[in-house]
Chain A
Amino acid sequence: MSTPALKIEHLTKTYATGTVALKGVSLEIPEGDFFALLGPNGAGKTTIIGITTGLVNKTGGTVSVFGHNIDKETEPAKMQIGLVGQEINFNPFEKPINIVVNQAGYYGIPRSIAIPRARKLLTDLGLAEKMEQNAMTLSGGMKRRLMIARALVNEPRFLILDEPTAGVDVELRRGMWEYLKGLSGKGLTILLTTHYLEEAEQLAKHVAIINKGQIVEQGSMEDVLAKHHSAESGTAGYRGGRLEEVFLKLTSEK
């Protein structure tokens, strides 16, 4: 059996404010998987991603990326990761091409390699005509795609997407999903958080649902749906997709 792309054991996080964000989360994502991490706002999804990528300090537990412990083998672990964060976090006064090339530089990739790679990524993501303009001129959807290009420039084995389609219109969102499906088909491991549950249901092979800092369910998408979904569920009122029904069942306050 190959080394998992991500292995999290007993992960805990208590913020300085006293908020307990994670209460002993354990999670494993196999190599090549398309994994959906779902949960309501404030459940702990972004905290898990932040700890994995080095943006948040954990309180306890261990995290390994392709077998590299993030505390002891930080550099090899980070080499494997590409991150598309939830917030737009690039300098809007810079050009998209420079944003992507600079990101490659932080991974030790020389400009002679990074520039053609960045041009190809931006072209593939439909930003060819915008790559030499200031990033502030990009629309919301374009900014999201720029962030995907930036996350892919180091050719990661593990791509983490934290709500990458927030604020993106339907057409662009579908285009983005198709692009991600293509990447997944090439063997890239993807961790996705999203509130678009129907799409997660179609895309992801495995799913974990987190609520109030604890994983309340995880497994293959089919198993999770089969385990919790029944014909009687959600009979009254609005009915969403199967995953939505399961999600509400596991995270509802009632």
Chain B
Amino acid sequence: MDTYQLWISFYTMLRKDIVRMFRIWVQTFLPSVITACLYFAIFGTILGSRIGDMQGVNYMTFVIPGLVMLAIVTNAYSNTSFTFFQSKFFFRGIDEILVSPTPPWLLIAGFISGGVVRGILVGTLVLLVSIFFTGLHLAIHNILIIFGFAVLTALVFSLAGLVNGVYAKSLDAINIVPTFVLTPLVYLGGVFYSVHSLPQLAQYVTYINPVFYLINGFRYGFLGIADIAIWMSLSVLLGMIVVLVGINWYLIRTGMGLKQ
């Protein structure tokens, strides 16, 4: 396939997924926005007024980047894991791509790009909603860092979702990881607090949580404050991308979970 044909194949996969996610927007976009509204109302407005400041900014402003990141992470992950699992398990729609000349690396790119798009779209919606809770005020320290961390984080979790989708043999396997792994990692990764407010041991535990580095970098883009150096966050992010791309490449190229 030449470059133009590769682009058409990629565009087909992405377009199909975007059409799907807009067709079922009540399932794909709405839940995260409603959940974020509840968080903003409860943690930001009701409890936040009693908590006061966190690292020199009011609590509502502090939690916004973390909650946007929560939406990006969960949506990017679940979009890729579910669409891939659905296409290989429910209708064997994945065969449509496997019999075509679309190369394995493009199949990976096609599936994860849908997750990235959904992660960014839902993250943007949550960010827009947050503005209503902050009196139409949004702190932005560095727009490039915000955008860069948002896209790279969506990419990481979209790639991780694809690994889950490849290995999953039942719908339970798709739901278990977000519920029992992803959500705790995000909640304990510093969405609601600064790592410096934790006891020493808990701080060490937090440092082995990869999500902590993503939230840290994202929050720096908004507020200009960080628990650790921004280059460390970026390094962890890029390292995760390299590892996950390698795993996905191996799985798809060998047809693991796809071909008999």
- Identify the A interface with B (CB < 8 A): 15-16, 50, 53-57, 74-76, 78-79, 81, 83, 85, 87-92, 98, 102-103, 105-110, 150, 154
In the complex, the 5 A-B pairs of residues with the closest C-beta atoms, listed nearest first = A108-B5, A105-B12, A106-B100, A89-B92, A75-B101
Chain A residues, CB < 8 A from B16? 98, 102
Chain B residues, CB < 8 A from A54? 98-99, 259
The verdict on B239 contacting chain A, using a C-beta distance below 8 Å, is no
Q: Which of B1, B5, B16, B99 has the most CB of A within 10 A?
A: B99
- Identify the B interface with A (CB < 8 A): 1-2, 4-6, 8-9, 11-13, 15-16, 87, 91-93, 95-103, 254-255, 259-260
Partner of B100, one of A87, A88, A103: A103
Residue pair B91, A89 in contact (C-beta under 8 Å) = yes
CA A48 to CA B24, docked complex, whole Å: 39
Chain A at the B interface: SS class: loop
Closest to A85 in B: B95
Residue pair A83, B99 in contact (C-beta under 8 Å) = yes
Distance to closest chain A CB from B178 (angstroms): 23
Residue pair A105, B99 in contact (C-beta under 8 Å) = no
Chain B residues, CB < 8 A from A105? 8-9, 11-13, 15
Distance to closest chain A CB from B157 (angstroms): 24
Residue pair B100, A110 in contact (C-beta under 8 Å) = no
CA A54 to CA B96, docked complex, whole Å: 11
Residue pair B96, A103 in contact (C-beta under 8 Å) = yes
17 more contacts with CB within 8 A, not counting A57-B254, A105-B13, are A16-B260, A50-B260, A53-B99, A54-B98, A54-B99, A55-B98, A56-B259, A75-B101, A78-B99, A78-B100, A85-B92, A85-B95, A89-B92, A102-B12, A102-B16, A105-B15, A107-B101
Pairs across A and B, CB under 8 Å, 27 listed: A53-B98, A53-B99, A54-B259, A55-B259, A55-B260, A57-B254, A75-B101, A76-B101, A78-B99, A78-B100, A78-B101, A79-B1, A81-B99, A85-B95, A87-B92, A90-B93, A90-B96, A103-B96, A103-B100, A105-B9, A105-B12, A105-B15, A106-B9, A107-B5, A108-B5, A110-B8, A154-B100
